[in-house]
Structures are given as C-alpha cells and as structure tokens.
Amino acid sequence: MNIGQAAKLGGVSAKMVRHYESIGLLSTAKRTASNYRVYSEKDVHILRFIKQARTLGFPIEHIKELLSLWHNQRRSSQRVKELAQKHLRELDTRIRELSEIKATLENLMQHCHGDDRPECPILDGLATKNLRLGRPGTVRVK
Amino acid sequence: MNIGQAAKLGGVSAKMVRHYESIGLLSTAKRTASNYRVYSEKDVHILRFIKQARTLGFPIEHIKELLSLWHNQRRSSQRVKELAQKHLRELDTRIRELSEIKATLENLMQHCHGDDRPECPILDGLATKNLRLGRPGTVRVK
DNA sequence: TTAGAGCTTCCCATCGTGGGAAGGTCAAGC
DNA sequence: GCTTGACCTTCCCACGATGGGAAGCTCTAA
C-alpha cells in the first residue's frame, strides 16, 4: 500500500510517516518504480505502536528504544518498565508543577474584582511579588 | 546600565532581553555611542513583570497585553481577570490530560513484572490496545 | 486525453530558549 | 601605551513534534 493508506490505518499523518523515516524511527521504506513508498501490514502495526506511545507522551527517543525492545524476543521486561517508570515520574513532576502554578494563579485572582475599576491584585502580584512555586525548578507549561 | 546587569536584576538572560525587544514585548532600547543597549530601573521592573508572568506560564502574547494593562491607569481589572481565567482553564485542561495519561500508563504498568523475562503487558498494550484517554475503564490490562 | 487525487522533495513556522561564531568595546593591570 | 578578559553587538542554528504549502511527478477513472 501507499503512504496515505498506511498512515490512515496507523492513525497518523502521511507527513509524520515520512518524518519518522527521516529520523530513523522507521526503517527506510521500499519504493515502487515511480519512487512511491510502499508499506505492509507490519508497517501499519509499527505505526499504531508509535501512535499509542505518542498518545501516552513518550518522547521519540524512548519510542525508538521501546520499538527495538518490542521487536526483540529476548528482551527483559525490566528495561521496558524502567522506561515507563521514568516517564511516569516526568508526568508526575509536570502535573505537580502545573498544579503549583494553578494554585499561585488562583491565589492572585482571588481578590481581583474583575470589574471596571483599575485596581488589580493580579497585576500587583506580577509586578511586586516574588512568585515562588513550590520547589525551584524549570517551569514548562506545555 | 548595560544589558547584562538589567538581565541579572530582572531575573532573565541577556539573550532573552534582546529577544523580547525583537518581538516588541520591550520597546527599543536606547543605545550608547558604541551601540550598547542602555537600561533603567524601570526597565528592570518590566523585566521582572515579564519573568513572573512567564513563571506562571502566560504566553508572550498575553504578557504583551498584561503589560499594556499594567501601564494603563484607566484599565479595567475585568480584562486582566479574563486573561487569568483563560490561562487557568488551560492549566486545568493540561493537568487533566496529563492525569489521564498517567492513569492509563499506571494501568499498563500494573501487571508488568519488570524482570528478566520478555513477557510485557506494557509493550502488549502499546501494540494492541486502543488506548483511549479520558474514559476510565476502556483501557484494560488483563 | 484530461482532471484530480495522491505522491515526491524542500522549505518554512510554531514557541521560548540556548549555543556559538565573528567581531567591536571597555576597564584593569602591567 | 598595550594586553587581557569580560562584556557587548548581530547573525545563524538547534530543539520536538507537527502542520502548511509550493512545485512538480504519477496514477486512475471518466
């Protein structure tokens, strides 16, 4: 099948399929005489695997390793679980960071009237407070 | 003062100060005869404001508006609160998404031995399940 | 034969930040 | 005075994952 159908069945865009090939997540696809990429059912399975892992937020580099573990019949499930646990910790960290930001923002908003008067504790807070969010660390909101 | 000190006092990098100027978040800085940017205490206050707003995860475009509201003595606090509420909703959405991902991942990991055997429900789940986030119960690992 | 859908590669944009090169400026110590 | 090193300037590139779109080729159905 062509890239369009493989992408559709795999639940990703054709654009992403080419991208995954370019970064070595997928092996180089065979080509027809007219240079069209050709895919098999197996490739569709791989695309689905990638899609699911991306849905869970695994970064591409981890997915690369997960794919190789998946294909390796002599793998140990230990490494897989390690990767999952690492990702879980990152999710936890992120959730905590965002929750701290949320709490700080709610705190600032609490006393803002939100009417036509200019007084605004939110602006005052941004201007003068030293907004410390829990433990210091990189705050990435997205 | 020069850009280095202003950046330090504002809690951001000199690189970012130049960037903020280039995207119109800061007005164009005056220059010395030798083309060095010159900053005042007022600029440092603005940098601090930006820094705090970034710490709370506000996108640059919102910060642009917050800054102009801050400088406008005839503002209504309503608009400020609107922006904050919008950001709060986005934080909530993101926290919810991440929590759903986390729950799904924990579910997958639950039955993985994480030892030297190859059997791995995590890989099986990525390969075969239709990991639907946000519907508790639809992701099941036997 | 032609239209249009699908394929190819290539470049650009996102968003906020950092890295680094190549070169100009300044102040302190000799 | 001259050297050294810290600081400044602009410019380009990178990240991660994705989408948009242009220009051009291929395939298929009418």
What CA–CA distance (Å, rounded) separates B101 from B93?
Answer: 12
Q: Return the percentage of chain A with pLDDT > 70, whole number.
A: 92
Instruction: Evaluate whether B106 touches A49 at the Cβ level (below 8 Å).
Output: no
pTM, 2 dp: 0.86
Say whether pLDDT at A48 is over 90.
yes
The closest of B111, B133, B132, B108 to B122, measured between CA atoms, is B108
For the segment B3-12, the average pLDDT, to the nearest whole number, is 96
State which residues between 108 and 127 of chain A bring their CB within 7 Å of strand D: none
Distance CA A80, CA B111 (A): 12
Q: A118, B70: Cβ pair inside 8 Å?
A: no
Cα–Cα distance measured from residue B3 to residue B32, given in angstroms and rounded to the nearest whole number: 12
Cβ atoms within 10 Å of B135's Cβ, excluding its own: 9
- pLDDT reported for residue B139: 35
Q: Which residues of B touch A48 (CB under 8 A)?
A: 127
Per the structure, the residues numbered 83 to 102 in protein chain A that have their CB within 7 angstroms of any atom of strand C are none
| Residue A108: closest CA among B13, B49, B7 | B49
Taking the C-alpha atoms of residue A70 and residue A37, their distance in angstroms, rounded to an integer, is: 24
- Residue B30 forms beta bridges with which residues? B38
Spacing of B38 CA from C27 C1' in Å: 18
Taking contacts as CB-CB distances below 8 angstroms, the residues of chain A near B80 are 112, 114, 120, 122-123
What single DSSP character describes residue B38? Answer: E
Give, as one character, the DSSP assignment of residue A12.
S
Mean pLDDT of A41-49: 96
Better pLDDT: B137 or A46: A46
Residue A37's SS3 state is strand
Measured CA to CA, the distance from residue B10 to residue B22 in angstroms comes to 17
Which residues of A fall within a CB distance of 8 Å from B122? 77, 80-81, 84
Mean pLDDT of A62-68: 95
Beta bridge partners of B101: none
Q: What was the pLDDT predicted at B85? A: 94
Q: Which nucleotide is nearest to B51 (CA to C1')?
A: C16
Which residue in A has a C-alpha nearest to residue B53's C-alpha? A126
What gap in Å lies between CA B41 and CA B39, rounded to an integer?
A: 7
